[in-house]
Amino acid sequence: MADNSKIFIFDTTLRDGEQVPGCKLNSNEKVELALQLEALGVDIIEAGFPVSSPGDFASVNEISKTLKNVTVCGLTRAVQKDIEVAAEALKYAKRPRIHTGIGTSDLHIKAKFNATQDEILERAIQAVRWAKNFVDDVEFYAEDAGRTSNEYLARVIEAVIKAGATTVNIPDTTGYCLPHQYGEKIAYLVNNVPNIDKAVISCHCHNDLGLATANSIAGIINGARQIECTINGLGERAGNTSLEEVAMIIRSHKTLGFHTNIDSKQLNPLSRIVSETMRMPVQPNKAIVGSNAFSHSSGINQDGFLKDALTYEIINPEEVGADSSKIVLTARSGRSALAFRFQKLGFQFTRNDVDTLYAEFVKIADSKKEVNDDDLTVMAKDFAAQTV
């Protein structure tokens, strides 16, 4: 029986992620990252857009030869030549997938294709049929599905499933939808596409309004079973759904009843590798993988955290392969954090000592962003010298 609680993780770091200016990868880098993504436990790797350049063709080809345990996917437009080139690039893959599609919103139909809904529907069907000549596993994307009317989207999805699509991707290409709207769109398809049980529904959400992760979660709650995402949320413009966020939401909220194959301990190490290889720093306050994700700096938080870490941490840093939690000393820190850091450095002070030291500490902290171990050592030694 199919496991209806499994969420397939479709990683597109090497395709949508690599579209970020400055993040271009060479073939060796792509193969290296693909191996790491396979080890992380993703189910599908979108390795590139083979027709776009000889370099991308070569990368998809190399990844297809190298990876043994994941599905390797190549992107195409709904164009015969694209599909043929993708099939060629994927020919050594153990599990090849062609990802083809076309814009379905009125804006895309008119502005991009100067066509009608019926013409686009026909092109979608033809693309899926053509891809089926080369592989069994065909995913169809309805680009700008987020702004496509549900009625027309349902017609397209029904037709492409009939033509052989085994996964149907519902991209919120411009990151426009609110979570309840995206969720309702998925529910609409579940309830109005008669053959929907023959395909997996996939969420592909962009982050233009900061809602990519929330929308993807709304999607799976309403019946989707695949999420397309990238490490560190890299992707066009404001990025894609972040892999580490969805993996940890699913893991942390057991009541959702979902699971993935992601080995969460690899999330931070791989985030760093991707950031370095793609020359794209991670913002410090990024969920799960930012350098501040497990730092505590205000007195109230530090005091609670030192009494019981669960007061201010919902994830144990070890669980996501991050360094242990940090108590950062700033002008907002309190006495318990100061005493804790002195203790870590090997200085034992009484409560009264800490009170005296705290007055000095606050002066230093007001003049600096952060009080570090060297500052504390000097303070402790001065204090000891004054009290002999």
Interface positions with ligand KIV (CB under 6 A) = 16, 141, 143, 169, 171, 173, 204, 206
Q: Which is nearer to ligand KIV, 139 or 303 (CB)?
A: 139
Q: Provide the minimum distance between the beta carbon of 361 and ligand KIV in the complex, in angstroms, as a whole number.
A: 50
Which option in ligand KIV, Zn ion, none does residue 202 bind, with CB closer than 5 to 8 A by kind?
none
96 binds, among ligand KIV, Zn ion, none (CB under 5 to 8 A by kind): none
Q: How far is the CB of 376 from Zn ion (least distance, A)?
A: 47
By the 10 Å C-beta count (0-12 exposed, 13-18 middle, 19+ buried), 387 is classed as exposed
Cβ proximity of 342 and 378 under 8 Å: no
Residue whose beta carbon is closest to Zn ion: 16
- Enumerate residues 12-71 that contact Zn ion by CB under 5 A: 16
- Which phi-psi region, left, alpha or beta, contains residue 175 (left: φ > 0; alpha: ψ -120 to 50)? left
74 vs 164, which CB is nearer to ligand KIV? 74
CB of 351 to Zn ion, least distance (A): 57
Report in angstroms how near the CB of residue 142 gets to ligand KIV at its nearest.
8
Cβ neighbors of 253 (< 8 A, separation 6 or more) are: none
43 is written with which tokens?
């189910």
Q: Report the alpha-carbon distance of residue 195 to residue 148 in Å, rounded.
A: 20
Alpha-carbon distance of 261 to 43, in angstroms, equals 8
Q: Which is nearer to Zn ion, 16 or 303 (CB)?
A: 16
Residue 82: which of ligand KIV, Zn ion, none does it interact with, CB under 5 to 8 A by kind?
none
Task: Give the residue with the Cβ less far from ligand KIV, 71 or 302.
Answer: 71
Are 176 and 209 contacting, i.e. CB atoms less than 8 angstroms apart?
yes
d(CA 57, CA 92): 13
Nearer to ligand KIV, 173 or 268 (CB): 173
Shortest gap between Cβ of 15 and Zn ion (angstroms)?
8
Instruction: Check: CB of residue 177 under 8 Å from CB of residue 213.
Output: no
Instruction: Provide, rounded to whole angstroms, the least separation between the CB of residue 167 and ligand KIV.
Output: 11
Binding partner at 312 among Zn ion, ligand KIV, none, C-beta below 5 to 8 Å by kind: none
Residue 143 contact, options ligand KIV, Zn ion, none, Cβ 5-8 Å cut-off depending on partner type: ligand KIV
Which residues ranging from 90 to 129 are in contact with Zn ion (CB under 5 A)?
none
Specify the residue, 169 or 242, whose C-beta has the smaller distance to ligand KIV: 169
SS3 for 114?
coil
Cα–Cα dist 317/178, whole Å = 30
C-alpha 84/C-alpha 246 separation (Å) is 33
Residue 207, contacted partner among Zn ion, ligand KIV, none, CB below 5-8 A by kind: none
CB of 169 to ligand KIV, least distance (A): 6
Q: At what angle do helices 27-40 and 54-66 cross, to 10 degrees?
A: 40
Check: CB of residue 268 under 8 Å from CB of residue 289.
yes
Cβ proximity to Zn ion: between 96 and 101 the closer is 101
Smallest distance, ligand KIV to C-beta of residue 171, A: 3
Beta strands in 180-223 (DSSP E): 200-205
Nearest residue to ligand KIV on Cβ basis: 171
Nearer to ligand KIV, 141 or 182 (CB): 141
Residue 204 or 286 with smaller CB distance to ligand KIV: 204
Contacts of 305 (CB under 8 A, 6+ apart): 296, 311, 312, 313, 325, 327
Question: How far is 96 from 44, CA to CA, in rounded Å?
Answer: 9
* Partner from Zn ion, ligand KIV, none binding residue 361, C-beta < 5-8 Å depending on class: none
* 3-state secondary structure (DSSP) of residue 355: helix
Distance CA 337, CA 182 (A): 44
Which residues bind to Zn ion, rule: CB under 5 A? 16
